[in-house]
Chain A
């Protein structure tokens, strides 16, 4: 049996503002097997993004254990965390977060610059990633020359180019029209099925959630 992609136990997360504690996540226990496609739903402010950030190691839990891709995330130093993130995590944002001054190709290439791949190898990887998302012909385009849906596909290509095992998506269709959203969800399903990626996707859209294999609900910081 494969090791689970994510193992969370008694996870707490609070923010502090002027010594005032704002509990955001309370006693989260969650195990996500490798190869899963989980949709995380819940009302605004329930802590979905916070959970995703913790999984990606860009935020630190207040207490509890958080094992992602076999690594106890909260124990890693900042430097190791960055390395670990580059290798294991693909991140997809609601507003794509492409760098406007870089072309689609260069945006997708970014994560590979943290590896030891040669220029030629990088080119192969980028081209593969872009053709998976169906944008091989748009490599030289800048983000502003692309539609929202296309931008999000570039962002997905960027998330998968370094071949991470876990893909985290925070409302990837939140800013898209129906058709583009469909395309993106279709793409995610493909990544899950064809390429065996574990995907955790935060979404408000029930139709989007339907594409996932599992749906989990988060409410007031607790999993239900």
Chain B
């Protein structure tokens, strides 16, 4: 085996060329990882929104709460489901909520975006134990007070603590800010259900949520409720319900990200090829010497192949390193599945790290293969004659 030092020191020796090639690969990996981290961030945020024990009920084929409409009798019927868990005070952990979108101006560029206003019951908070009021207080005068999720408060005009926002023909004061631990709820405004139904003149609910006492009963319960002729509903695990809402954007990002990364990678592959062909040309005599010493063609092939792989691996690490810092970047965009604005951070996962490095190495393999073959095919006598 030709020692690894030979490969590494040659990479270091040709500083400029290696650096430029590494940078090329790192840019591609950055874009690749970045697009995956964006999807991952949205997915993570939405998945965190749902809990495993909770169940969401919406109108059949309405897909999201925005379109869903359930009347009071239907809600009443669902609330009697025996599988519903009971809280400390013996009351069922069940809530009916109304969900509307209102158009508000962003603080950043005063463009408009849709914000979720959720009318909730006291049980709503019991069902989502990870939500805490971190500033201010809960509403006391439900008719004119609301609380805002942390990101909604930051991003929208009138949603900060003590600020006033107008919707539903009323003016509301934000009296509290809640932290929902980076879940989708952080981008919502919450108020009292009766007041919201009144303000928006909607005498119907959007969704019902309840906690199951025993989640293994889910499938049976779902079948029973959905087959009940009086209930045109769809019963979903809360986690699944929210996870589904990332589908359109993540599919879009997945396709666009992959296509762009692939086209993009051609540039980096060509860069690696140029570098490796030059390496072979510069070291023809060394190749001849190694062969004369008794190293076989495969050893030569391997050495140049590995050199390319190392360079691209370094590019992969660099690109990932840069992408890692995207974690601190907050993005807010309209979620195409719900039509509402949602804020989230880029998020990394072991999967992303793994695929990005594989991608980087693959670029090096593709770019290094032909030059390595050329190196291996050189005739010893000819290469020894090279200057």
Contacts and interface: CB of A to CB of B under 8 A. Distances in A.
Interface in B327-382: 380-381
B16 interface: no
Contacts of A124: none
Contact of B290 (A56, A89, A101, A110): A110
A78 B3 CA distance: 22
Interface in A96-114: 97, 99-102, 106, 109-111, 113-114
B292 A58 contact: yes
Interface string B274-295: 0000000000011011111111
Nearest to B293: A111
Interface string A137-150: 00000000000000
B285 to A, nearest CB: 7
A58 B295 contact: no
Q: What is the predominant secondary structure among interface residues of chain B facing chain A?
A: helix
A170 to B, nearest CB: 9
Interface string B1-26: 11101100110010000000000000
B384 interface: yes
Interface string A170-203: 0000000000000000000000000000000000
B10 A101 contact: yes
B289 A93 contact: yes
Nearest to A59: B381
Most buried by B among A56, A102, A111, A158: A102
Nearest to B296: A82
A79 B1 CA distance: 15
A113 B384 CA distance: 21
A217 interface: no
Given A59-B380, A59-B381, A113-B2, A102 B9 contact: yes
A85 B294 contact: yes
A99 B286 contact: yes
Contact of B289 (A78, A85, A86, A99): A99
A86 B292 CA distance: 8
A175 B9 CA distance: 27
Contacts of B380: 53, 58-59
Most buried by A among B5, B291, B293: B293
Contacts of A101: 5-6, 9-10, 13
A83 B294 contact: yes
A109 B288 CA distance: 17
B1 A113 contact: yes
B282 to A, nearest CB: 10
Contacts of A53: 380-381, 384
A209 to B, nearest CB: 23
B155 interface: no
A29 B380 CA distance: 25
A91 B289 CA distance: 9
B382 to A, nearest CB: 10
Contacts of B6: 99, 101-102, 106
Interface string A147-174: 0000000000010000000000000000
A6 B384 CA distance: 23
B260 to A, nearest CB: 37
Interface in B290-339: 290-297
A83 B299 CA distance: 12
A63 B99 CA distance: 92
A85 B292 contact: yes
13 contacts: A58-B292, A85-B294, A86-B293, A86-B294, A93-B384, A97-B292, A99-B289, A100-B13, A101-B9, A102-B3, A102-B5, A113-B2, A113-B3
Interface of A: 53, 56, 58-59, 78-79, 82-83, 85-87, 89, 91, 93, 97, 99-102, 106, 109-111, 113-114, 158
Given A58-B380, A86-B294, A99-B286, 20 more contacts: A53-B381, A58-B292, A58-B381, A58-B384, A78-B296, A79-B296, A85-B292, A93-B289, A97-B286, A99-B290, A100-B286, A101-B5, A101-B6, A102-B5, A102-B6, A102-B9, A106-B6, A113-B3, A114-B293, A114-B295
